[in-house]
Chain A
Amino acid sequence: AQSVTQPDIHITVSEGASLELRCNYSYGATPYLFWYVQSPGQGLQLLLKYFSGDTLVQGIKGFEAEFKRSQSSFNLRKPSVHWSDAAEYFCAVGTMNTGFQKLVFGTGTRLLVSP
């Protein structure tokens, strides 16, 4: 069965420092991969997605992610974190089920930003 692992439950980063959030997936075919962000009390917002092609994808708010097939990973990065980036981040893998796509989500990583 498809699965997504986000090994870090919480991460604290100083404002201005770089960020990397880890995501590993298990899926037999070529995956569709996504990162979402959730601010407190809100729904999820799509940050970026990977379907095919260039393995380094750019998203909104200065985020990027790199797909590494050999490591089954899709880590999220940002070179300089802002206090407003404090939120929960979810990685997801898209699976095809009889021509219909369903997302499987990781359990999330909560990012705290210290002054």
Chain B
Amino acid sequence: DVKVTQSSRYLVKRTGEKVFLECVQDMDHENMFWYRQDPGLGLRLIYFSYDVKMKEKGDIPEGYSVSREKKERFSLILESASTNQTSMYLCASSFRDGSGGYTFGSGTRLTVV
């Protein structure tokens, strides 16, 4: 069964910590995405990548960075976590042309205290 795997389901971090969220896909997809999901706001795109070492800012990149050293792995980095980054984070991947839509991971619920 094809999969997008997010390394943690739940994380609790302290304000100011550097946080890494990892995502791995096994579908040979070119594109990978990081979204955050908040009640009433839907899904908002943080960053995406359409190739190894390539990255593009989404709609809300402030406070985040990403890394894509290998095709199958896309990491989201919170350089200095803040309480307003408490959220559900969803990773997704797709083929370059979007055929088949996105495949999502199960999400990481991050709480920053």
Contacts and interface: CB of A to CB of B under 8 A. Distances in A.
Nearest to A6: B42
Interface in B9-45: 31, 40-43, 45
Contacts of B40: 9, 107
Contact of A107 (B41, B96, B102, B103): B41
Contacts of B104: 36, 43-45
Contact of A90 (B43, B48, B98, B109): B43
Contacts of A46: 100-103
Interface residues of B, number: 25
Interface in A89-103: 90, 92, 94, 99-103
B31 A100 contact: yes
B99 to A, nearest CB: 8
A43 B43 contact: no
A103 B98 contact: yes
Contacts of B45: 102
B107 A101 contact: no
A101 B90 contact: no
B31 A43 contact: no
Interface string A100-113: 11110111100000
A42 interface: yes
B106 interface: yes
B90 A43 contact: yes
Report, nearest first, the 3 A-B pairs whose CB atoms are least far apart: A101-B98, A107-B42, A43-B104
Interface of A: 9, 32, 34, 36, 41-46, 49, 51, 90, 92, 94, 99-103, 105-108
Given A34-B102, A41-B109, 15 more contacts: A9-B40, A32-B98, A34-B101, A43-B90, A46-B100, A46-B103, A49-B100, A49-B101, A51-B99, A92-B101, A94-B98, A100-B50, A102-B45, A106-B42, A107-B41
